[in-house]
A and B are shown apart, each in its own frame.
Chain A
Amino acid sequence: MNQRCESCFSCGMPLTQASDFALGDETATFCTYCVDKEGKLLPFDSILKSNAGYYQESQGLSEQAAMKMAKDLLVSMPAWKNAGV
């Protein structure tokens, strides 16, 4: 039996309700923001940019600091850990 993921394997976002999951599928390992319309994982650079934007918009981090912060987090996630990004 598949265990329900508690957080996105790509960005770490908590997966608490069906709408958080990719395509609303609660067996998915990614969140809704990290996949395209077919449920396929988006390219690293695209996710990096949107995550950095999230830090900038919410807390006013500089672009450089936000990009570093997003990258530090993403490269520790299962989807990107050994992907050589």
Chain B
Amino acid sequence: MQTLTRKAQKTQTRNSLIQQAEALFSKNGISNTTTAHVAKANKVSHGALFVHFPTREDLILSVVASFGDRLAAQMGKRFEDDMALKDLLKAHIQVLSEFEDFYMRLISESQSLPPNIRSIVYAMNASLSYRFYRAAQTQMKDGKVKKMTQPEFFNTWMALINYYVMNRDLFSDKTPILTEIGEDVLRHFLSLIKTF
């Protein structure tokens, strides 16, 4: 086996810490997980973790950035130009269901996270909002979808999705909840916005 260079080893440890932190955040919650927990799970000293992430905030930020990149990549794979609204929303549900454990923690703990992390989450949502609303506007012009503002449209969709994800333990024993009820939520949303 080829010996890893010092730089490659450092990158590997860093990536492993990010993965381990995401798993612990997903399982136990972001606020309940300390840097000591992450170091222990990764079998490195607490001090070694701080070489890669000088503060706890840096670690959370790296996990959220990694999550955001993978989420965006998956969305990018599924979203196509001029995709119909229904298909876009369906793809959104599918992608979120793949990342649901961490997404649930992120939205549940949003207000107690460092402010720049909350900003990143809302920036990711902003991109989705523009994409979904562009597709909705086509149908608004055709008279098939009720006319409403971009925030009204996007926030109604997110309110439904986030409510079921945040309270998923109340609705099913199985996870991801979006795999269980995603189709029903989509059908209900489309019936709310249609004109006839």
Contacts and interface: CB of A to CB of B under 8 A. Distances in A.
B116 A76 contact: yes
Interface string B127-148: 0011001000000000000000
A60 interface: yes
A72 B129 CA distance: 21
B128 to A, nearest CB: 8
Interface string A36-59: 000000000000000000110111
Given A6-B69, A68-B115, A73-B116, A60 B151 contact: yes
Contact of B119 (A13, A57, A60, A73): A73
Residue from B76, B122, B129, B154 whose CB has the most chain A CB atoms within 10 Å: B122
B181 interface: no
A35 interface: no
A33 to B, nearest CB: 12
A16 interface: yes
B89 interface: no
Contacts of B154: 58-59
B119 A58 contact: no
Interface string B111-126: 0000110111011011
B149 A59 contact: no
A14 interface: yes
A59 B122 contact: yes
Given A58-B130, A72-B119, A16 B150 contact: no
B172 interface: no
B116 to A, nearest CB: 4
A73 B76 contact: no
Nearest to B76: A16
B115 A72 contact: yes
A60 B126 contact: no
Contact of B129 (A58, A68, A73): A58
- 3 closest A-B pairs by beta carbon, nearest first, are A60-B151, A73-B119, A58-B129
